[in-house]
């Protein structure tokens, strides 16, 4: 029972992050399941089964808050579904001993990308309103869908930063559209795992626990996307993914405990520094924006002079 409650809380936290940042539900949830010894293919299948419900709820919530561009949803979601089905089938046929370190490497790379992307770079907004073309969205969807199914997550970490970096959509609409299109990816990945695995290894109770936590968080996250600083949240999530998968990868290769502990401390220190950097960058940007909005007041203008003269009179 305690395990189910913990998994539900993970689902809640992962959906809060995913719905407000546009990524990390699958990566975070799969990382946890791998950490407690779940078969990589079964972990990804369980997470994607839960995501059918969470992405549907998240999409409806984002739509109600006006965060969805339906053209982008279809243009990236359909090829994403194709990539996810292929990726799920591939992972189902891969040996477990090879799959676990391979998936940890994929998750670690995604975590590093998220950490570095949101710590050191701001969000480009100078081309908002310029249409996103199919020749950009189609290959992006195929790659993101494949990575998502094989890594247990990756739709958001691949798709969200790529569209944000283009500067052609408001950040809230990027996040809302990616979250909504993920429903198609989750359905296709689940069908791929069903085709490759059947129901073997898929824990229905865990999937339901993840789903319930995600359903509670979905409407909250759709609202938070307007107020939570993505830069800080991205650094925090990226660091968590890097830390957890560093441990999984090192233990998979039977590295001595002393070196595992040392590596985890180094990652933790770098993670803390990255979050602090992001917080400082966010606060600095807010101060500069506030300063630009307040007109400078001096004592040398005509009004000041007139007032001084009246006072002397």
Higher pLDDT, residue 301 or 125: 125
**Which range scores top for mean pLDDT: 46-50, 92-96, 258-262, 286-290?**
258-262
pLDDT band at 311 (very low <50, low <70, confident <90, very high): very low
Token pair of 74 as six digits: 């279809």
Higher pLDDT, residue 88 or 36: 88
Task: Look at residue 311 and tell me if it is in a domain.
Answer: no
Give the separation between CA 92 and CA 71, rounded to whole angstroms.
32
pTM score over 0.95: no
Please write the tens of the pLDDT for every residue from 156-185: 777 877 777 676 777 778 878 888 898 998
Q: How high is the pLDDT of residue 313?
A: 39
Domain tally, the chain: 1
Q: For residue 100, report the phi and psi dihedrals to the nearest 5 degrees.
A: -60, -55
Q: How high is the pLDDT of residue 266?
A: 94
For residue 262, is pLDDT > 90? Answer: yes
Task: Look at residue 308 and tell me if it is in a domain.
Answer: no
Give the residue among 224, 122, 134, 135 at the shortest CA–CA distance from 179. Answer: 224
For residue 281, is pLDDT > 50? Answer: yes
The alpha carbon of 93 is separated from its chain's Cα centroid by a whole number of angstroms, namely: 27
pLDDT band at 290 (very low <50, low <70, confident <90, very high): confident
Question: Can you give the chain as a three-state secondary structure string?
Answer: CHHHHHHHHHHHHHHHHHHHHCCCHHHHHHHHHHHCCCCHHHHHHHHHHHHHHHHHHHHHHHHHCCCCCHHHHHHHHHHHHHHHHHHHHHHHCCCHHHHHHHHHHHHHHHHHHHHHHHHHCCCCCCCCCCCCCHHHHHHHHHHHHHHHHHHCCCHHHHHHHHHHHHCCCCHHHHHHHHHHHHHHHHHHHHHHHHHHHCCCCCCHHHHHHHHHHHHHHHHHHHHHCCCCCHHHHHHHHHHHHHHHHHHHHHHHCCCCHHHHHHHHHHHHHHHHHHHHHHHHHHHHHHHHHHHHHCCCCCCCCHHHHHHHHHHHC
Q: Which domain range does residue 242 map to? A: 2-291
Give the residue among 159, 30, 190, 18 at the shortest CA–CA distance from 99. Answer: 30
pLDDT band at 265 (very low <50, low <70, confident <90, very high): very high
Task: Look at residue 296 and tell me if it is in a domain.
Answer: no
Task: Look at residue 305 and tell me if it is in a domain.
Answer: no
The residue to which tokens 């400082």 are assigned: 280
Give the separation between CA 26 and CA 229, rounded to whole angstroms.
21
**Which range scores top for mean pLDDT: 37-46, 48-57, 210-219?**
48-57
pLDDT band at 199 (very low <50, low <70, confident <90, very high): low
Higher pLDDT, residue 21 or 140: 140
Q: State percent of the chain over pLDDT 70.
A: 72
Task: Look at residue 261 and tell me if it is in a domain.
Answer: yes
Mean pLDDT rounded to a whole number for the chain:
76
For residue 2, is pLDDT > 50? Answer: yes
The residue to which tokens 């198609």 are assigned: 184
Q: How high is the pLDDT of residue 131?
A: 75
Task: Look at residue 313 and tell me if it is in a domain.
Answer: no
Task: Look at residue 298 and tell me if it is in a domain.
Answer: no
Q: How high is the pLDDT of residue 295?
A: 56
For residue 245, is pLDDT > 90? Answer: no
Task: Look at residue 47 and tell me if it is in a domain.
Answer: yes
């Amino acid at each position: 029972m305690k395990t189910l409650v913990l998994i539900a809380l993970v689902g809640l936290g992962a959906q809060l992050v995913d719905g407000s940042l546009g990524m990390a539900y699958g990566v975070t949830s799969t990382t946890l399941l791998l950490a407690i010894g779940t078969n990589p293919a079964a972990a990804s299948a369980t997470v994607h089964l839960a995501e059918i419900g969470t992405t549907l709820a998240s999409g409806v919530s984002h739509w109600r808050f006006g965060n969805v561009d339906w053209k982008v949803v279809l243009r990236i979601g359909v090829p994403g579904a194709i990539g996810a089905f292929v990726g799920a089938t591939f992972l189902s046929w891969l040996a477990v001993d090879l799959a676990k370190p391979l998936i940890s490497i994929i998750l670690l790379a995604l975590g590093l990308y998220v950490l570095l992307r949101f710590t050191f770079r701001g969000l480009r907004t100078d081309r908002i309103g310029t249409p996103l073309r199919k020749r950009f969205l189609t290959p992006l969807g195929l790659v993101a869908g494949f990575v998502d199914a094989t890594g247990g997550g990756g739709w958001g970490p691949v798709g969200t930063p790529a569209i944000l970096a283009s500067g052609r959509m408001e950040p809230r609409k990027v996040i809302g559209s990616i979250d909504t299109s993920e429903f198609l990816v989750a359905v296709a990945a689940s069908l791929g795992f069903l085709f490759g695995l059947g129901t073997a290894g898929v824990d229905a109770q865990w999937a339901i626990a993840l789903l319930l936590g995600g359903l509670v968080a979905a409407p909250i996250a759709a609202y938070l996307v307007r107020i939570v600083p993505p830069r800080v949240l991205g650094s925090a999530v990226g660091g968590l993914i890097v830390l957890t998968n560093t441990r999984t990868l090192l233990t998979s290769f039977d590295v001595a405990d002393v070196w595992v502990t040392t590596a985890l401390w180094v990652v933790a220190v770098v993670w803390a520094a990255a979050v602090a950097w992001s917080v400082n960058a966010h606060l600095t940007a807010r101060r500069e924006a506030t300063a630009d909005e307040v007109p400078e007041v001096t004592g040398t203008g005509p009004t000041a002079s007139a007032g001084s003269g009246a006072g002397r009179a």
